Structure 1
Amino acid sequence: MSVVTAAVGAPDAARRLGAGEATSLLLYRNLLAYRRAWYVFVSGFLEPVFYLFSIGIGVGKLVHGFEFNGAEIGYRDFVAPGMVAASAMNGAVMDATFNFFFKLKYNKLFDQMLATPLTTLDIARGELAWSLSRGGIYSAAFVVIMLCMGLVGSWWALLVVPAALLIGLAFGAIGMALTTWMRSWQDFEYITLAIMPMFLFSATFFPITAFPEWLRWIVECTPLYRGVVLCRELTTGALSWGSAVSVVYLVVMGLVGLAVVRRRLDRLLLT
């Protein structure tokens, strides 16, 4: 609240805001807008939880487990980290696509923001920070459930929430970038068409070795697979160079998406 007060009460109303100050203002604005919509957050979090209980536990009784990075792990331990990555993806994508599109095309919220000292880069950073917050909350709550169920086998799991934020960064930035090209709500079928196969086939429920080699290479290039690998290696403690590759991949993807969002907002709102 102090950030808001300082910005509004500044002697020079036209002064440029710092990156942190602008991001804080937009986070606070979104927090106020969603304070009565808590059920939206709950609904997005419950889906991967249901998958964990139905598939990770139910089907897990029929599956003895898998070998992961040279160690034998149970099926529940295999599926749970994949659900963490999926939670981060779902939380980020929801705000970065549907809600972002509504603000851009129908609510005209961003046009109003540009009448203030905010810039298009401030808007992009603020909206991405909010989608990261949502994905981070989902993932943190899911990690707590994993701890209660005894599905965490390493202290490296402390880094799972930061890893989930990286996943949210990548999906949130690319989601916003793609949304700037959306013309109507029907175009969001393409988002669903991309998200669902990734969710099902990014080694979330079964090892990637089940795929033929040509398909395995394609799957390994998808962002959710990189996120699943990172979360799974952290929760099991079986770290490899795959985690480092995943971190670099997700950071680069997020930065590229953020740059595209800024350029697209400049074109859509300032010309």
Structure 2
Amino acid sequence: MNAWRLVGRNLLVYRRSWLIFLTGFAEPVFYLLSIGIGVGAMIGGVEVGGRVVEYAAFVAPAMLATSAANGAIMDSTFNVFFRLKHARLYDAILTTPMTTADVAVGETLWALLRGGVYAGGFLLVMAALGYVNSWWALLALPATLLVGFCFAGLGLWLTTYMGSWKDFEYISLALMPMVLFSGTFFPVDAYPAAVRLLVEATPLYRSVVLCRELTTGALTTGSLLSVAYLAALGLLGGLMARRRLDRLLLT
């Protein structure tokens, strides 16, 4: 498939920039060590699916989902914008047999790969620290790939509307509240009903819930809802991004 040619091109570009991947993996680890373990020593346990788990085990899967989301969204926004507006890479690509669909799929695959690397490394840290409490956690890595797919599709779509680097302030403005309030560090039961419904509609909340249910073994029918929701958003983002690339590059 032609889309993999774009993935191969990105691999060649980043082959000497492995530190970029390391920094993205290190951030959620620091959060886990400082907040999950440090603050957790003063908090005690948190109820998940009718059973109490230690606070670090509550935070760890949330950081797992966040690491996958961050890896995917950063590559599908900032890096894609540079290639689209400044390097004019896609204009050159379209002089070959590749299409805008290949570009959209290739960039989504690359962002998903980066998010998967972050999440895979973090999952190993979780297992080493003893914060994986169920064999269902074997599905946590595929789940993080789904998270990456969702955020990569949405990020790519949003990037096609960006006119300058200043517009990326809106990305940060949306991401930070999601990280803080999507059930990452405390249960959403603390919110009023209206606020809770709003939070539960965000993709990061569904990502956090899915990873937490898998690593703790507290699966419910809501797990299937999370899978369907994330897959639908990823597909929507990818399809709309392809349409926008048609308008930007073919007209």
Per the normalisation by structure 1, the TM-score is: 0.92
167, 170, 190: which one aligns with 2:170: 190
Q: Does 1:180 align with 2:160?
A: yes
Indicate the residue corresponding to 1:9 in structure 2.
Answer: none
Residue 125 of structure 1 aligns with an amino acid whose one-letter code is V
Alignment of 1:119-198 (within 5 A): 119-198=99-178
Indicate the residue corresponding to 1:223 in structure 2.
Answer: 203
Could you tell which deviates more after superposition, 42-51 or 219-228? 42-51
For residues 221 and 78 of structure 1, the distance between their equivalents in structure 2, rounded to whole angstroms, comes to: 20
Displacement of 1:26 in angstroms is 1.3
Per the normalisation by structure 2, the TM-score is: 0.99
For residues 23 and 78 of structure 1, the distance between their equivalents in structure 2, rounded to whole angstroms, comes to: 37
1:33-82 Cα deviation digits (max 9, x unpaired): 10011111111111111000000000000111111111111101100000
35, 45, 62: which one aligns with 1:65: 45
Misfit runs of 4+, over 3 Å: none
210, 219, 223: which one aligns with 1:243: 223
Percent identical among aligned pairs is: 59
Alignment of 1:251-266 (within 5 A): 251-266=231-246
Displacement of 1:196 in angstroms is 0.3
For residues 128 and 230 of structure 1, the distance between their equivalents in structure 2, rounded to whole angstroms, comes to: 21
Q: Does 1:269 align with 2:249?
A: yes
- SS, match of residue 62 in structure 1: helix
Larger Rg: 1
In structure 2, the gaps of 5 or more residues are none
For residues 207 and 53 of structure 1, the distance between their equivalents in structure 2, rounded to whole angstroms, comes to: 19
- SS, match of residue 81 in structure 1: helix
Indicate the residue corresponding to 1:204 in structure 2.
Answer: 184
Residue 188 of structure 1 aligns with an amino acid whose one-letter code is F
Residue 48 of structure 2 aligns with an amino acid whose one-letter code is F
Alignment of 1:73-152 (within 5 A): 73-152=53-132
Indicate the residue corresponding to 1:16 in structure 2.
Answer: none
RMSD: 0.6
Residue 80 of structure 1 aligns with an amino acid whose one-letter code is A
